[in-house]
Amino acid sequence: MTRVYVDMVADRFAAGHEAFLREARGCGDELIVGVLDDDDCEWFDRRPRQVLDQRAQSAASCTHVDRVIAGGPVFPDPLWLAEQGIDRLVHWDGLPVRASRYWYRAAAEAGLVRPVVVPGARTDFDPHGRTHVPDPAPETSDSVLAPFRRRFRRWLPPAAGMLRRRVLADGLRRLADALRGTPLAGRFWVVGGLLLGWARQGGPLHSDLEDADFAYLDQDHDRFLDSVAALVRAGFRPRHRFSSAGGRYVEHRFRRGGVQYDFFRLAPAGDRFRYSMFVQGEEPAELVAEVPAQERVPFRLVDRDWLKVADHDLALRSIYGDWRTDRPDWSFVKDRAIVERIPMSLLPIEWNWPNAVARGPGER
């Protein structure tokens, strides 16, 4: 007997779902449907209109289905499939190659995956619910002007540059004050361009007045989540969060006064700290980077006390190389610390705090 497995959201079960399951059932003797959990659906797309039990009942009512697994895994691997007695995983052949490689890579490498054609399926048909790309955040006047500022900031009048510097400095002071006394206090530190500016000239670089980067350790992620409310009260608006290819939220972004504040979640990897950055667009990818693991020490910036790595020269060299020389063409995709580039099917970025799920499938 050949047991076939498919996964789906099954939100508002329709004729397209039934047609897909009919074709999948023809690939074996028994059809098992994994209906994805509400939280997992939110991670890669949106929270379903119907709860898991309702969606599972809809799938079970289909005559082609022999068994339903409520809360099936987002990344079905060979071990899990074997535990369930499953011989073959089937997905819709209209799923983009990039998406099928991302979601079903482990099963495909084990030779367990087979695509099926759904006759008459529309181009926007998606039984798995995994080809949707989240809508970008609505544009504000600030986001509309951002490309202009980046391109011409070197020619902005001195008064405008002074204003942007003042806005950033005010935001940094507010952030430091907001996090004082929170669970994250004393457990995050300055990294990236903000650290580079301090090391090079004692303050933010004129060419880098629109973002500030901070880091905290993986073990302090709950402390970070418990401190978000304090940042919100101080006027920092949660905007985006980025998930690793393995389903862990590893970067969170706030906005205030036109300035972007990023918090990166660093995971120990031997004598290194590992972090992720993300390329958006038609070919989204996770850029995994590593820097030497170091203790943190206090320093002073914009009239506030902060933490930085003990040997900032070592950290900056690992990222920028000759960090003392200005390189106007440098971007994060040229980070010297990058050790791996992981193609992704899509890049979940929406952060509807406080109602959004706090953890991705890779950490649940």
- Collapsed DSSP state (helix, strand, coil) of residue 292: strand
Q: What is the pTM of this model?
A: 0.85
Domain 3-116: top CATH class: alpha beta
The owner of tokens 């050949």 is 2
Q: What is the pLDDT of residue 136?
A: 40
Q: What is the pLDDT of residue 159?
A: 54
**Interior angle at CA 41, CA 38 and CA 42, nearest 5:** 90
Question: CB within 8 A of 143, min separation 6: which ones?
Answer: 137
Say if residues 133 and 346 touch (Cβ distance below 8 Å): yes
The encoded tokens of residue 249 equal: 């939220």
Q: What is the pLDDT of residue 137?
A: 40
Alpha-carbon Rg for the chain, nearest whole angstrom, is: 23
Which helix (H) or strand (E) segment is 217 a member of? Answer: strand 211-217
Question: CB within 8 A of 145, min separation 6: which ones?
Answer: none
Q: What is the pLDDT of residue 140?
A: 42
**pLDDT, mean over the chain:** 90
Segment 112-148, tens digit of pLDDT? 999 999 887 765 567 887 764 444 444 443 444 455 4
What residues in the chain have per-residue pLDDT under 70? Answer: 122-125, 131-161
Q: What is the pLDDT of residue 118?
A: 87
Instruction: Give the span between the Cα atoms of 235 and 214, in whole angstroms.
Output: 17
Q: What is the pLDDT of residue 143?
A: 45
Q: What is the pLDDT of residue 131?
A: 63
Domain boundaries, the chain: 3-116, 141-363
